[in-house]
Amino acid sequence: MPAPTAHIAAQKGDFAKTVLMPGDPLRSEFIAKTYLKNPVLVNDVRGVHGYTGEYQGKRVSVMASGMGQPSIGIYSYELFNFFDVENIIRVGSCGSFDPDLHLHDIIIAMGACTDGNYAAQYRLPGTFAPIADFELTRRAAEECKRLGVNYKVGNIYSSDVFYEEYESCSAWSKMGVLGVEMESAALYCNAARAGKHALCICTVSDSFVHPNEKATVEERQTSFTKMMEVALALA
């Protein structure tokens, strides 16, 4: 399928080699208008805002992924395979399982556990472990240290279900999984298959350990700035 695709109304060259990918289109717009110099809207199909501009002299793009593995699976696949994107950095929100992680702290997802079936398409004779690009992971950890951000590197849980009938988070927590979100495993699968690079950086928006800690909708869109700055430094 040549560019443009059914989901991205852009041409080859419209996207930079590195794309930041929040779930929320409004967070995409916020990042572009807050951090990028001369941002240009390169995609708005279904309201999924995609922009390309400059950050500290480097060309950078940002585009929303929507919610869930099927959605980020479509957008990241097309960016990797049809628009010559090399790096996708998910900048999302997550729920924390870890007592040491509080609101606005950061999880760098070295691996992504999942209850989803995305990797079944590859017909592998076993269980595939979706993991991040090591160099992006290393640099993100160094940048968090430089900025003085409280963070942890480890496994995250990419769930296909937001409202679970039977809550499974305690089981994942017992295995050392740091938190839960809904996209990273599919992104890591697509990067592996395309021979490209991916990383998920998530800001804690709520906690299963500290139930009174919860970000508002507006905070999710505009206040997770440390995560955004870490991701932009990797571009």
Contacts of 56 (CB under 8 A, 6+ apart): 232
* Alpha-carbon gap, residue 132 to 109, rounded angstroms: 7
The pLDDT > 70 percentage for the chain reads 97
The 10s digit of each residue's pLDDT in 60-90 is 999 999 999 999 999 999 999 999 999 999 9
pLDDT single digits (tens) 12-21: 999 999 999 9
In a domain, 197, yes or no: yes
Q: What is the rounded (10 degree) CA torsion for 92, 116, 131, 110?
A: 50
Amino acid letter at 48? V
Residue 151, in any domain of the structure: yes
Which parts of the chain fold into alpha helices (H)? 25-35, 69-82, 134-147, 169-174, 184-194, 217-222, 225-234
The catalytically annotated residue of 24, 105, 133, 206 is: 206
Instruction: Indicate if the pLDDT at residue 213 is higher than 80.
Output: no
Separation CA 16–CA 132 (nearest Å): 20
Mean pLDDT of 125-147: 97
The answer to whether residue 33 scores a pLDDT higher than 80 is: yes
Q: Which residue has the higher pLDDT, 183 or 215?
A: 183
Judge whether 115 and 184 are in contact, CB under 8 Å. no
Q: Is residue 154 part of a domain?
A: yes
Average pLDDT over residues 3-20: 92
> Is 220 in contact with 27 (CB distance < 8 Å)?
yes
Read off the pLDDT band of 204 (50, 70, 90).
very high
**Which pLDDT belongs to residue 220?**
66
Q: Would you say residue 6 lies in a domain?
A: no
Domain presence at residue 214? yes
Residue 56 has a CB neighbour count (10 Å cut-off) of 10
pLDDT at 222: 62
Give the span between the Cα atoms of 171 and 76, in whole angstroms.
29
pLDDT in tens, 148-168: 999 999 999 999 998 888 888
Task: Tally the domains of the chain.
Answer: 1
List the CATH number of the domain containing 106. 3.40.50.1580
Q: Which domain holds residue 29?
A: 18-234
Question: Of all residues in the chain, what percent carry a pLDDT higher than 90?
Answer: 82
Across the range 127-138, mean pLDDT stands at 98
Question: Within a domain: residue 5?
Answer: no
* Residue 193 predicted with pLDDT over 80: yes
pLDDT, averaged across the chain: 94
Q: What is the pLDDT of residue 170?
A: 86
pLDDT number for residue 168? 82
Mean pLDDT of 214-231: 80
pTM, two decimals, is: 0.95
For the question of residue 105 being annotated catalytic, the response is: no
The predicted structure's pLDDT at residue 223: 64
Asked if residue 124 has pLDDT above 70, the reply is yes
* Domain-located, residue 8: no
Question: For position 6, what pLDDT does the model report?
Answer: 87
Instruction: Confirm whether 172 is domain-assigned.
Output: yes
